[in-house]
A = this chain, B = another copy of it.
Amino acid sequence: MRFGEILTPSALVDLDKVERNTRWMSQRAHALGVRLRPHVKTHKCIEAAQLQVAGHFGGITVSTLAEAHYFAEGGFTDITWAFPLPLGRVVEALELTNQIERFAVVVDHMETLEVLEKEADKRCETVCVYLKLDCGYGRAGVQADDPTAMDLARRLSESPRINFRGILAHAGHSYDCRTPAEILRVAQEERDNAVLFAERLRHDGIAVEEVSVGSTPTMRLVEDLEGVTEIRPGNYVFFDLFQANIGACQIGEIAFSVLSTVVGRYPQRDAIVLDAGALALSKDPGVHPQNPLFGLLTHPETGQAWTEGLLGGLSQEHGKVSWKGAETMPQIGDRLRILPNHSCLSAACHPVYYVLRGMEVVDTWRPCRGW
């Protein structure tokens, strides 16, 4: 298939950039002296995950049980499901424990641990568990200073059916940052909170093997990870406009885009309409939700950004662009490549990614979907 034959809207992956991005993070992990257990939730496909783990121990992180099954079938044998274990999926998780070398789940509630212990006991299974720590993000996880955190860690470490792996934290609040300096501060907080909590547990006689942290912004900028054993960044494979806007990558590193065609051209009201709407891009508003821009419009071949065009609105299948200047306004049938705000959500809209080297389609990747 040639580039010109790709129907729109379609998801494009720039393989040179993916290779560069994955190599960068791989070297970063080596330089920082930590194991790389990359997150695969951004792309959810085997081929990209293989590039991510190259030169490392092969472990990955997933966000859904569907991904865990998919990557297990794809040959991955060491998988962490970095999501608070839902009670309704405990049995399925235990079954997977039996199918690959090492499947780990994440817990931060005694209620969940009790159900897990009971089911594991019933099945005579041992299950790997991380204790989720809230390192300042305020989404999930125990608070380090909450006495129940210590109780939970002790119970995990003493439970006969639990192989307690250690601490898992995720600095999701790095996405609230707007400068590299802010990201660096969050990265240090993520590291310090996780390492200090692990040390407190060890001081109390609880063995903590792993201290697992990581988001793409924090792993891009942090310079010292002493005490941390593994990192779990994921978005860096593709990056996106959001990462560029907060200073975690350059525009030129963004490896995922959505190819779109101009289907409407209205110079009298400075507007064009594209065939990529909310179902092809997702509706993530980017860094300024009150004044959303749903992506950066670029030339499909040169990658040059078209700053005259602002993708300010999305309906289900229409992208609504205001375009200043009739002389550069694209024509009906012209194609644009849209760098999306949030590649994890945009990629999830597409059943297939067209993988390019330059303008040549060299592969198609079919990601996992669902839960």
Q: Which residues of A contact B (CB under 8 A)?
A: 7-10, 41, 63-64, 83-89, 108-109, 111-112, 115, 138-140, 143, 146, 172, 261, 263-265, 268-269, 271, 273, 275, 278-280, 282-285, 289-290, 292, 315-318, 320, 331-333, 344-345, 348, 350-351, 369-371
Q: Are B83 and A263 in contact (CB under 8 A)?
A: yes
The 8 closest A-B pairs by CB, nearest first: A87-B333, A84-B263, A111-B332, A140-B264, A283-B283, A86-B261, A290-B290, A86-B263
Q: Are A138 and B271 in contact (CB under 8 A)?
A: yes
A346 to B273, CA, bound (A): 23
Q: Which residues does chain B contribute within 8 Å of A89, judged by CB atoms?
A: 7
Known: A282-B278, A331-B111. A63 touches B317 (CB 8 A): yes
A263 to B89, CA, bound (A): 11
Instruction: Write the chain B residue with the least CB distance to A345.
Output: B278
Q: Which residues does chain B contribute within 8 Å of A84, judged by CB atoms?
A: 263-264, 273, 275
Q: Which residues does chain B contribute within 8 Å of A369, judged by CB atoms?
A: 351
Instruction: Write the chain B residue with the least CB distance to A90.
Output: B333
Whole-angstrom distance from the CB of A7 to the nearest CB of chain B?
Answer: 6
7 other A-B residue contacts (CB within 8 Å) besides A108-B264, A138-B271: A64-B317, A84-B275, A139-B315, A275-B371, A289-B289, A289-B290, A351-B370
Q: Which residues does chain B contribute within 8 Å of A7, judged by CB atoms?
A: 88-89, 371
Which label, helix, strand, loop or mixed, suits the secondary structure of the A interface?
loop
Whole-angstrom distance from the CB of A273 to the nearest CB of chain B?
Answer: 5
A332 to B84, CA, bound (A): 10
Instruction: Write the chain B residue with the least CB distance to A6.
Output: B88
A290 to B289, CA, bound (A): 7
Q: Please pick, from B271, B344, B350, B371, the residue contacting A9 in the complex, using a CB distance under 8 A.
A: B371
Instruction: Write the chain B residue with the least CB distance to A110.
Output: B332
A279 to B108, CA, bound (A): 23
Instruction: Write the chain B residue with the least CB distance to A269.
Output: B138
Q: Which residues does chain B contribute within 8 Å of A317, judged by CB atoms?
A: 41, 63-64, 83
Q: Which residues does chain B contribute within 8 Å of A285, judged by CB atoms?
A: 283, 285, 289
Q: Show 15 A/B contacts (Cβ-Cβ < 8 Å), sorted by A.
A: A8-B86, A8-B88, A9-B371, A41-B316, A83-B318, A88-B261, A138-B271, A139-B264, A139-B318, A139-B320, A143-B268, A278-B282, A278-B345, A280-B371, A316-B345
Q: Please pick, from B63, B139, B316, B345, the residue contacting A273 in the complex, using a CB distance under 8 A.
A: B139
A289 to B48, CA, bound (A): 34
Q: Which residues does chain B contribute within 8 Å of A263, judged by CB atoms?
A: 83-86, 140
Q: Which residues does chain B contribute within 8 Å of A282, judged by CB atoms?
A: 278, 282-283
Instruction: Write the chain B residue with the least CB distance to A273.
Output: B140
Q: Which residues does chain B contribute within 8 Å of A370, judged by CB atoms?
A: 350-351
Q: Which residues does chain B contribute within 8 Å of A87, judged by CB atoms?
A: 261, 332-333
Q: Which residues does chain B contribute within 8 Å of A371, judged by CB atoms?
A: 7-10, 275, 280
A139 to B313, CA, bound (A): 10
